[in-house]
Amino acid sequence: MRPHTYLTLALALVVNAVLVGIAIGLLYSVPALEVFAAYLLPIGIIVAIAATPALAWRIAPYLQSDRDEDRDHGSGEHMHAHRGAR
């Protein structure tokens, strides 16, 4: 598998936890929604599970290292040129 796929799989766990946490937080922070918690909580979890793969796939490229870019150029002399002086 490609590194992007590995990152997506690892990131999916975190993304899903955040989305479910947001759903639970919204549900219990609005008093009017607490009455419908038995119905809205499962819906929120299903929506979070459905949205997780797409979001994780979009976020994964931002977490890849610049090492792949350096390997494509052949030499490591330019390695820190775009990050400032070290």
- Please report the pLDDT score of residue 2 as a whole number: 86
Tell me the average pLDDT of the chain. 83
- Please report the pLDDT score of residue 79 as a whole number: 52
Closest listed residue to residue 63, CA positions, set 12, 20, 18, 17: 12
Secondary structure, 3-state, 13-78: HHHHHHHHHHHHHHHHHCHHHHCCHHHHHHHHHHHHHHHHHHHHHHHHHHHCCCHHHHHHHCCCCC
- Please report the pLDDT score of residue 1 as a whole number: 83
- Delimit the domains of the chain by residue range: 3-63
- Please report the pLDDT score of residue 86 as a whole number: 46
Residue 40: pLDDT over 90: yes
Structure tokens at 67: 């090492």
- Please report the pLDDT score of residue 63 as a whole number: 86
Residue 81: pLDDT over 60: no
**Stated pTM of the model:** 0.70
